Amino acid sequence: MTAVTGTVFRGEDLPARERFDCWRELLERTRACEATSAHADDFRAELRRAELGEVVLFGTSFPSVRFRRTERMVRRADEGIYHLSFLQEGAMALTRGSGRTETLRPGDLHLVDSSHPYDLRAFGTPTAGGTQPRLSGVGMDFPAALLPLPPHRLRALLGRAFSAREGSAALLSQFLVGLDRQAVTLGPAEAARLGTIAVDLVASWVARELDAEAAVPDDTRQRALVEAVRAFVRRNLHDPDLTPAVIAAAHHVSVSHLHRVFTRHSEDGTTLAAWIRAQRLERARRDLADPAQRATPVHAVATRWGIPRADDFSRAFRAAYGLSPREHRQRVLTALPEAG
């Protein structure tokens, strides 16, 4: 499988005086702005950049930097790009035009666009040992035309700090963090599909903030619902009473609607019940292969992942993987090299 197009930058791989310029050039491919740093002479940063169709995803960690997009830069070239960022560590002070300055802290989301000037000061958090202060986060850049809401509707949101600790903002931020971890393993088709889902989640989030859900197309709302359901299921796999009815109630939809939407937007038409079962079995399979858990009884592993009946677990495991849970554990652990 061909991997998704991407770049991984680690400052330590370059001479000290080249690091900042290289890191800045990677960001400026989609975020055209002036970047300056007091640490430019020895800039210790990391950046992971992945192309997900028309969406560019990145995760980065760096010392304090100032980013400025001026009126002149906007007039000279405006690509019509939205820039979404989720701050994980550090702090930011964001000023749009001559407006007020917004303070962003870890756990906040913010959205800006390439059509308006801004001044963003990013402050790293002091680290142990007196090394450079660090700021980290994930973000995505995408054409404004992909968002099914006209730009004038979003003006009230641009540049503001939004907590990503609950609701659709939390779902969006968690999706981006997970996507950043897995991006290098994705093939182009899967990457493009996940890029579309990321934009759907942005649309769902901004529509909720604007009380404009009716303006979002049905397909966009449905894909966002499916991702919300998947996140809910992953958090509750341990519960043996996790059923489609429980999930539907938690998302304020009917069971029939949930089944129809989930199956329609699953890559291979998988039903919700089948997907839940596969998730449980995969986590149990992983735990059975963990040497640190070799003393944990098989039935305890199954119960941990919401399958309390031993016969049901053994039968489903064999159907999925072609051998019993005990055989899988023995085969994997026997193949491991002995410690020491």
Per residue in 22-33, pLDDT (tens digit) is 999 988 888 899
What is the arrangement of strands in the sheet containing 65-69, beginning at the earlier edge strand?
A: 34-36, 65-69, 118-123, 91-96, 101-104
Q: Is residue 1 pLDDT above 50, yes or no?
A: no
Between strands 55-62 and 46-52, the pairing is antiparallel
Q: Is residue 114 pLDDT above 60, yes or no?
A: yes
Residue 16 domain flag:
yes
Per residue in 306-334, pLDDT (tens digit) is 999 999 999 999 999 999 999 999 999 88
Count of structural domains, the chain: 2
Q: Is residue 171 pLDDT above 60, yes or no?
A: yes
Residue 113 domain flag:
yes
- Whole-prediction pTM value? 0.82
65 and 92 belong to one structural domain: yes
Per residue in 248-268, pLDDT (tens digit) is 999 999 999 999 999 999 878
Of 181, 214, 247, the residue that ends a domain is 214
pLDDT at position 268: 82
Measured between alpha carbons, how far is 287 from 302 in angstroms, rounded to an integer? Answer: 9
Of 198, 214, 230, the residue that ends a domain is 214
Q: Residue 336: which CATH number?
A: 1.10.10.60
190 and 270 belong to one structural domain: no
274 and 150 belong to one structural domain: no
Residue 1 domain flag:
no
Of 214, 248, 267, the residue that ends a domain is 214
Between strands 118-123 and 91-96, the pairing is antiparallel
Q: Residue 15: which CATH number?
A: 2.60.120.10
Residue 35 domain flag:
yes
Could you list the residue range(s) of the whole structural domain that residue 227 is in?
217-340
280 and 143 belong to one structural domain: no
Spell out the residues 6+ positions from residue 270 whose beta carbon is closer than 8 angstroms to its own: 263, 278
pLDDT at position 5: 61
175 and 228 belong to one structural domain: no
Please state the three-class secondary structure of 184-217 as a single string: HHCCHHHHHHHHHHHHHHHHHHHHHHCCCHHHCC
122 and 180 belong to one structural domain: yes
